[in-house]
Amino acid sequence: MIVLGIDPGYERLGISVIEKTPSSASLGTSKPKLVFSECFKTSPKDEHAERLSQIHIEIERILNKYKPSHLGIETLFFNANVKTAMKVAESRGVILALAKKHGLTVVELSPQEIKIAVTGYGNSDKKAVIKMIPLLIDLNKKSIMLDDEYDAIGVGLCVLTHN
């Protein structure tokens, strides 16, 4: 099973591709493997439509390269900044439309569901999530710098627990 996990945004988008194979269990490991991850960035200097187009192109590239069967995407968390929330919602729309186009099973997850799957506690902070990720997945010696990437890995791991 190959899962595309996304922490949606329009300036920074966390993306992960995680693979869980039946053969990993027979080899004595139950850890899924991180195949790819990144924090995809768009420039605030670009107009919003251009930024959405860049997100479309990057997600389509990843879908074509890794051929996931499932998409996990974090639900929108509304805060006081409605303008930001609307732009993130538009980014989610681009991603969901691509998932449908490529025939993916979509799993939408709340931040609390993701934290429970990764740490066992729905109100965990970022530090707890970052600490748990390397214990739950083979990161293939990849160094991860930004929270968005960790969040996307957490989304992908959560999808694996649902299937």
Q: What is the pLDDT of residues 96-135, one digit of tens each?
A: 999 999 999 999 999 999 999 999 998 898 899 999 999 9
DSSP string, 85-98: HHHHHHHHHHHHHH
Q: How many residues does the chain have?
A: 163
Does the active-site annotation cover 7? Answer: yes
Active-site residue, selected from the candidate residues 38, 74, 113, 149: 74
Q: How many CB atoms lie within 10 A of CB 125?
A: 11
**pLDDT at res. 81:** 72
Domain that holds residue 46: 2-162
How many domains are there within the chain?
A: 1
Find tokens 């996307």 and name the residue. 152
Catalytic residue, chosen from 19, 148, 149, 151, is 148
DSSP 28-49: T----EEEEEEEEE--TTS-HH
CA pair distance 124, 128, nearest whole angstrom: 6
* Burial profile 11-21: b = 16 or more Cβ within 10 angstroms, e = fewer: eebbbbbbbbe
Query: Which member of 7, 19, 38, 149 is catalytic?
Result: 7
Active site includes 148?
yes
**pTM of the predicted model, to two decimals?**
0.91
- The CATH number linked to 117 is 3.30.420.10
Q: Which residues pair with 40 in a beta bridge?
A: 13
Mind listing the pLDDT tens digit for each residue in 65-91? 999 999 999 998 766 577 888 899 999
